[in-house]
Amino acid sequence: MTRRPSIPLLLFTLLLSPAALAQTPPAYTPPTPAEIRAAAQPTSDPTWWKHAVIYEIYPRSFQDTNGDGIGDLNGITLRLPYLQSLGVDAIWLAPMYPSPQVDFGYDISDYTAVDPQYGTLADFDRLLAAAQTHHIRILLDMVLNHTSSKHPWFVDSASSRTNPHANWYIWNSGKPTTNPKAPNAHHGPRGWVVPPNNWSSLFQGSAWEWVPARGQFYYHFFYKQQPDLNWRNPAVEKAMFDAMRFWLDRGVAGFRLDAITTLFEDPKLHDEPLTGRLDASGFPESNHSLTSGLPEVHDVLRRLRKLVDSYPDNRVLVGEIYVPRTSDLLQWYGTPAAPELQLPMDTLVGFHTEGGGQASGANVNLNLAHFRQSISDMETELDGHQPLLVFDNHDNTRSWDRFGDDATPENKLRIAKLIATILYTTRSTALTYYGAELGMTTHTPTRKEDVRDPIGITGWPQEKGRDGERTPMQWSPLPPSASFSPSAHPWLPIGSDYPTVNVTSETGQPDTLLTWTHDLIDLRRGYPALHDGGFVMLDPTNPSVLSFVRKAADGSAILVSLNFTAQYQTVHLDLAATGVGSHYTWVHMDDNVQFGPLYTLSPLTLPPYAALITGVK
């Protein structure tokens, strides 16, 4: 099965420098003895986000209460008991601010209000208060790079070169041209001009758009309806920080920062190297080396961290970060003297694909060597910072499809349990996405007329958009909308597998992914070894099975062993090297495992795609 590259994978590729694009990833280098010893040490920091399960909700797809076919804030409030029962510590809400919905909320027209289709500010306050009673925190998605072109700031800025917001966005008069038929040529105050450089938009075409009223182009990293803010103007930073104070004062626990690496651009507007590819519109792609990851971003993050740290209760900043190597995440944590993000997203484990991001063939992403290296790097290369793993979000084909691909239905479920085990048993804050706990699948439109995502509309059929991973939450087997909405016509069609893949049908059943996920979160909370134990990789040259031990300060230990193949695998584990015994005390798995004699863990025979979690003494 061949799938399109997801938007973050495209972004990851484009944000690499030309030198990085030309490099072959380095061979796996085992951690040093000192790094291994450091990773094996248990922690004792009770800070909530260091142990949290964070659950992303796409508001328009979670629960509709008013019958318009679109999810709303009252729907999230309604489902808080479910989230609490699952073990969720915090929910991250994708944008619910007023927006023309060109990019479904990532084009914001007012940062201090709620879009009427989702409810009111009073509804949000009720959600926040109700979440507190369920011991759930709320993180908001904050889009700092750009606004909507309908935001009053941009409407004012685009009206003239002398208005109060004239310098709040990236404007340029362009380069003179003698060819009025040149691409994107326009007649300005000084004659015919073209854009000042070759920068491409991530969402197809030139990154420059002409505005006759100003006789200038403005820059947009994403859609033309998402003009980039000018962060070199101190008034912009003040306005955006004030917007964040508005929500912090109301009690939100922090923010997920969207596209945070793209705040600044080369002020001299030099051309960027080209990738050698054409986007779906036929425009030459530039590599974004001058429009992402500039040093000034870190200055903003340090100031933003000071703002967040001035509030009580350990407010947190989560960053959308895509880097080629785990060690590259270090710069986004900052330093002890000048901290930045608490939780930059580690997407190297969850969104890895071979062959340049194009997934094809069975289980192409289920690459044990990559998993082992990335998890080991996460434990040894972050200088003790807290990692944040993520396998699913609103921009990527769902993990059930990416990792299961052409596997049998039975093995798809086993693979999904294996992925969930990695998410919840490694020493990482866990970020998941609504429906991942059920095994919701990707339902990509098969006809252009059914596409809602603008990327799919403009890029069809090469790019089919992100609707497939945004279909409504499947709460029950009841037609027509799986209890998502009273409407028979929700904003996106309900997944066709809803009669069996839903909360009602999976709750309390022993072999479902929902039960497995619930149990994993319970184990994570209940056992010190999984909650804050150290990490030791075992059997590091095994080509088929990933094994590691988590060991708590009290000496208790838990072994995790994962079979990445469709065949039975027998492993011989040297547990003595970890300072724990080789006998098991309890076992958590959904298939029969063959142990050695007298309750010993070596040898150990695992069924296909088995995930074994067991106490060790």
Q: Would you please indicate which residues are annotated as catalytic (active-site) residues?
A: 258, 320
Q: What is the DSSP code (8-state) at residue 169?
A: B
Contacts of 492 by beta carbon, 8 Å cutoff, 6+ apart: 61, 452, 467, 470, 471, 472
Q: What are phi and psi of 47, to 5 degrees?
A: -50, 130
| Bridge-based pairing state of the strands 557-563 and 545-551 | antiparallel
Single-letter amino acid code for the residue at 194? V
Q: What are phi and psi of 285, to 5 degrees?
A: -80, 130
Written as six digits, the tokens of 406 are 């052409």
| Bridge-based pairing state of the strands 343-344 and 316-319 | parallel
Cα–Cα distance between 216 and 504 in angstroms, integer? 56
Cα–Cα distance between 589 and 511 in angstroms, integer? 10
- DSSP reduced 3-state for 575: helix
Q: What are phi and psi of 380, to 5 degrees?
A: -120, -15
Encode burial over 550-565: b for 16+ CB neighbours within 10 A, e otherwise: bbbeeebbbbbbbbbb
Contacts of 523 by beta carbon, 8 Å cutoff, 6+ apart: 424, 425, 530, 558, 588, 613
Cα–Cα distance between 78 and 92 in angstroms, integer? 16
Q: What is the DSSP code (8-state) at residue 349?
A: T
Cα–Cα distance between 432 and 57 in angstroms, integer? 9
Cα–Cα distance between 497 and 526 in angstroms, integer? 33
Answer whether 73's CB lies under 8 Å from 127's CB.
Answer: yes
| Cα→Cα distances 498→62, 151, 411, 481, Å | 14, 38, 19, 9
Cα–Cα distance between 543 and 257 in angstroms, integer? 37
Any alpha helices (H) in 310-432, and if so which ranges? 330-333, 368-380, 399-404, 409-425
Residue 266 CB neighbours (<10 A): 14
Single-letter amino acid code for the residue at 413? L
Nearest to 6 by CA among 389, 292, 451, 350: 350
Cα–Cα distance between 8 and 351 in angstroms, integer? 9
Encode burial over 234-258: b for 16+ CB neighbours within 10 A, e otherwise: eebbebbbebbeebbeebbbbbbbb
- DSSP reduced 3-state for 90: strand
